[in-house]
Structure 1
């Protein structure tokens, strides 16, 4: 139970960071785009880890597959084909612009999530 609280706390912290990034750095593509994508992967990973103690490797691979799929759907302009290009919620979830650097940001976020998970396990749950 203690482990889940820690991961939910981390996901909450990541959510707050994402909110700050969106509200305060919308004009900065490096922070809004790149750093935001790293943090969103951390948020998804920690939230899912808070729900259940998934295998770390499988969870990071799932999180990355979800992120890469979202980016691929942006490449296909799925929002346009579904008529959601003016829907704010869809734009936040699916995104709107394909950027190959996002794939790098997702990968960095996945590595960071995995390493953070291992550090948490090592220092808090020996």
Structure 2
């Protein structure tokens, strides 16, 4: 295990943006889709903060986690584990499956890989 301060700072920044979106944005694009893109980026940054996973592996893991959460929504995961009444669990895990979210998650994973690979000064 490792701790990478740069990724931690970025993760905190993305988390803050996600909180602002969740609390104040009520639209049909930013909250549902940009929020999902950022969710995958946040998970990616979290993984890169505390693991030695390389870019592609971390992006795939972040995408897999997002897909698992989304498919959990399809099968009522939150209710099945007895947390349907818990507001935080409903926010974190969600309650409504939307296949469009899968595309937003994939876009988030592609964005992080593209940014990481094109970042100036990055070791190749």
TM-score (structure 1 length as normaliser): 0.87
Q: 1:124 to 1:50 in 2, by over 3 A?
A: farther
Secondary structure (helix, strand or coil) at the match of 1:29 reads coil
Aligned alpha-carbon RMSD (Å): 1.6
Q: Which contiguous aligned blocks of 4+ residues in structure 1 show a shift greater than 4 angstroms?
A: none
1:87 corresponds to: 86
Runs of at least 5 residues in structure 2 that lack an aligned partner in the other structure: none
Offset at 1:71? 0.5
Matched, 1:19 2:19: yes
2:5 corresponds to: 5
- Give the distance between the partners of 1:11 and 1:29, measured in 2 at CA: 24
Offset at 1:101? 0.6
Superposed CA offset, 1:38-61 (max 9, x none): 011111101211213312111111
Aligned residues, how many? 121
1:49 corresponds to: 48
- Give the distance between the partners of 2:45 and 2:122, measured in 1 at CA: 16
Structure number with higher helix proportion: 1
Runs of at least 5 residues in structure 1 that lack an aligned partner in the other structure: none
TM-score (structure 2 length as normaliser): 0.88
